[in-house]
């Protein structure tokens, strides 16, 4: 079949059938995020941090005590969706080449990080991945600015669900996030002083 025609069909199918997307896509429910969307970091502009959250699959503690783990990608400038889709999520995307053709697969990840923790990915800082920077001037230029936005976003996330209120929070990340993690840790300490 002509590829353009096929993609038109798929697009059209999404448009008319978006309410049945879960049942009709070949993605198992446990591969899908529990929640995703935007956390506004500025009351006067539309700047917002994009998040994707996977609730813990296998609680070993009551939900109210089940830790939330926040993941920040490095770069600077890499989307946390890299860590999500290729590293930590319950079903990972992988690709391989056979006979010079790329084969893309979607496989369960038995080492996923949302087994006993709720797992939250944040596209940080604004301007990265799906996050929105209303103006280039609002993009943080230093760790203090990054931490200020992350603190607002994490607070907004906790407000989304009563069950998040008292859960311990761990912040982790990769590579350049070795700068973000202590910066947001310091900001939380300062605010809670
Ligand atoms: C997956 O989730 C959808 C939407 O909540 C539900 O309608 C469907 O029955 C679920 N499928 C399975 C196999 O659990
Ligand atoms: C919100 O945006 C305005 C206008 O760009 C800026 O002056 C202000 O510092 C921003 N606030 C935060 C918390 O980033
Ligand atoms: C996950 O899968 C790997 C490779 O198949 C296997 O070696 C490992 O024991 C599995 N771990 C768990 C916790 O099931
Ligand atoms: C959930 O926990 C049980 C008991 O510890 C274990 O046998 C099972 O493999 C776990 N499943 C996942 C997805 O981690
Ligand atoms: C709150 O979170 C819990 C656990 O993730 C979930 O079962 C519940 O549906 C959520 N409530 C709302 C209003 O999203």
CB atoms within 10 A of CB 134: 16
Per-residue pLDDT, 94: 87
Q: What percent of the chain has pLDDT over 90?
A: 76
Residue-wise pLDDT for 80-132, tens only, equals 999 999 999 999 998 888 888 888 888 999 999 999 999 999 999 999 999 99
Burial class (CB within 10 angstroms; exposed 0-12, middle 13-18, buried 19+) of 71: buried
End-to-end, the C-alpha distance of the chain in Å comes to 63
Closest atom of ligand 5 to 118 CA is 5
Residue nearest to atom 11 of ligand 1 (CA): 29
Mutating to test ligand 4, I would choose from 30, 31, 57, 58 the residue with most ligand atoms within 8 A of its C-beta, which is: 58
CB 89 within 8 A of CB 109: yes
In this prediction, residues 63-89 reach a mean pLDDT of 96
Q: Token pair for residue 156? A: 């907004």
Which of 73, 37, 49, 43 is CA-nearest to residue 153?
A: 49
Q: Please state the atom number of ligand 2 nearest to the C-alpha of residue 145.
A: 14
> Which pLDDT band, with edges at 50, 70 and 90, does 28 fall under?
confident
H-type alpha helices, 39-176: 81-83, 143-159
73 neighbors 177 (Cβ within 8 angstroms): yes
pLDDT tens sequence across 129-173: 999 999 999 999 999 999 999 999 999 999 999 999 999 999 999
Mean pLDDT, rounded, for 67-89:
96
pLDDT of residue 17 exceeding 50, the answer is no
Contact by Cβ (8 Å): 74, 173: yes
CA-closest residue to ligand 1 atom 10 = 29
Regarding the beta carbon of 35 and ligand 4, being less than 6 Å apart is answered: no
Residue 181's H or E segment, with its range, is: helix 177-192
Whole-number pLDDT of residue 13: 35
pLDDT at 23: 43
Q: Which domains does the chain have, with CATH numbers?
A: 34-191 (3.40.50.1820)
Return the DSSP state at 44: S
Q: Which ligand is nearest to the CA of 114?
A: 4
The CA dihedral of 82, 85, 86, 88, to the nearest 10 degrees, is: 100
Tell me, using a 6 A CB cutoff, whether residue 57 lines ligand 5. Answer: no
Q: Evaluate if residue 11 carries a pLDDT over 70.
A: no
Distance CA 132, CA 173 (A): 21
Q: Are the C-beta atoms of 176 and 65 separated by less than 8 Å?
A: no
């Amino acid at each position: 079949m002509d590829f353009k025609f096929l993609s038109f069909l798929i697009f059209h199918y999404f448009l008319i059938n978006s309410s049945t997307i879960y049942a009709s896509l070949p993605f198992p429910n446990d591969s899908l995020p529990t929640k995703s969307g935007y956390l506004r970091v500025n009351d006067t502009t539309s700047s917002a941090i994009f998040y994707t959250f996977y609730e813990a699959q296998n609680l070993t503690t009551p939900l109210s005590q089940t830790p939330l783990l926040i993941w920040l990608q490095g770069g600077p400038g890499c989307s946390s969706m890299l860590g999500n889709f290729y590293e930590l999520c319950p079903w990972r995307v992988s690709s391989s080449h056979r006979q010079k053709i790329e084969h893309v697969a979607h496989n369960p990840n038995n080492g996923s990080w949302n087994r006993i923790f709720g797992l939250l990915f944040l596209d940080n800082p604004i301007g990265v991945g799906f996050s929105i920077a209303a103006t280039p001037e609002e993009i943080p230029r230093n760790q203090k600015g990054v931490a200020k936005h992350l603190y607002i976003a994490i607070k907004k996330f906790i407000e989304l669900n009563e069950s998040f209120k008292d859960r311990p929070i761990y912040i982790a990340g990769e590579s350049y996030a070795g700068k973000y993690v202590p910066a947001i840790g310091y900001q939380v300490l300062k605010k809670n002083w």
